[in-house]
Amino acid sequence: MHEIIINDTTLRDGEQAAGVAFNLQEKVAIASFLDLIGVHEIEVGIPAMGKEETFAIAAISNLGLQAKLLGWNRAVISDIQASMACGLERMHISIPVSGIQISAKFQGQWRITLQQLRDSISFAVDHGLWVAVGGEDSSRADENFLLDVALYAQEWGASRFRFCDTVGILDPFATFARVKRLVTALTIPVEIHTHNDFGLATANALAGIRAGATSVNTTVNGLGERAGNAALEEVVMSLKRIYGVNLGIDTPRLLELSRLVAAASCSSVPPWKAIVGENTFAHESGIHAHGVLQNPFTYEPFSPEEVGWQRRLVVGKHSGRHLVSSLLEEHGIFLNAQETQSVLDAVRQQSIEKKRSLSIEELLNLVQEQRYYHAIG
């Protein structure tokens, strides 16, 4: 597959998630960590927001990171000036391209929309800046109009065009077709930006890449507007493990990064969240645990260490004798089949009462209780 650039937007679209507000230290820490693990580009925020944001973006810009930094701007010259004042040299300029957006924001005056885009690209290019253009709501735009906007952006000096599934309404097949059309018609690279309103953000991001997009927007933990964006950890690991594309990202540190962003966004990651959820390498069910005890790849797509986890085998309502015996044997306890079954019965009962799996201490206590019960029984 072709080379792929990860352009992470945790600090822009991620932070747009309702209720999320990073402070200066958090923005700097997240940018530094993204850079440390090898993320290629970072969309650092929206300088037009004013003082606090520009202060944080300028601080990131002064860190001298390896990652390329982009400021997000409307097609408004004062937005671009604000980005320049932060020391940014790469501008992302966004313009609505669907009828519904142009009606709401530009009273349907698409010529004025295009004029504003042209003026802002020219302004940035004339100031020696690298420019990318984002077609906001590309997925609901008239396809011919979208193509025209992208071609104009290219002609006016943009170096990349972003296809945005702003409200997450495409499936991977439609994403592939739409992105392919742009990739075929443009000489500049295409970037894919997806949302998770139907739970398809990562699948659609991969479909865009399969169609030829060479750059992809991600956010850590899939943080972002409404149901969020394509998750960095999911896109990186899918590319690595499904497509064999190694992006040079230090994947064993993805978990640390996830925890950093979860803390800064005051939002917990669901246990079943792909790659970074705490259950991703936990096995409780009897048949699974039995398989994993023989060979972990029976029920794991790759090793937990590859993304910073360690495998966990836990007993609970769905466990079987093999797991119970194995855990007890690690603690020097060897039971016969009948004793193991009675411990397992007690595990099931206690797990239902506690509505969770049991800790190893709780399992050992159950063995003690069972032995006592048998002794007096």
Ligand X SMILES: O=C(O)CCC(=O)C(=O)O
Residues found near ligand ACO in the complex (CB under 6 A): 13, 16, 46, 48-49, 74-76, 94-96, 105, 116, 136, 166, 225
Nearer to ligand ACO, 133 or 315 (CB): 133
Q: Which residues contact 149 (CB under 8 A, 6 or more apart)?
A: 95, 97, 114, 117, 133, 135, 141
231 binds, among ligand X, ligand ACO, none (CB under 5 to 8 A by kind): none
In this structure, the chain runs to a length of: 377
**Of residues 157, 185, 217, 174, the one with CA closest to residue 4:** 217
The answer to whether residue 134 forms part of the interface with ligand X (CB under 6 A) is: yes
The answer to whether residue 153 forms part of the interface with ligand X (CB under 6 A) is: no
**What is the Cα Rg of the chain in Å?**
25
The answer to whether residue 162 forms part of the interface with ligand X (CB under 6 A) is: yes
How many helices, marked H, and strands, marked E, lie in the chain? 14, 10
Q: Nearest approach, Cβ of 182 to ligand X (angstroms)? A: 14
Nearer to ligand ACO, 169 or 245 (CB): 169
The answer to whether residue 166 forms part of the interface with ligand X (CB under 6 A) is: yes
Gap between the Cα atoms of 327 and 336, Å rounded: 14
Q: Using CB under 6 A, which of 91, 146, 164, 205 touches ligand X?
A: 164
Strands (E), the chain: 5-8, 41-45, 68-74, 90-96, 130-136, 160-165, 190-194, 215-218, 282-283, 312-313
Nearer to ligand X, 166 or 280 (CB): 166
134 binds, among ligand X, ligand ACO, none (CB under 5 to 8 A by kind): ligand X
Answer positive or negative: Cα dihedral of 143, 148, 151, 152. negative
The answer to whether residue 136 forms part of the interface with ligand X (CB under 6 A) is: yes
Which among 59-67, 158-166, 181-189, 232-240 is the span making contact with ligand X, rule CB under 6 A? 158-166
For ligand X, the binding residues (CB under 6 A) are: 13, 92, 94, 134, 136, 162, 164, 166, 193, 195
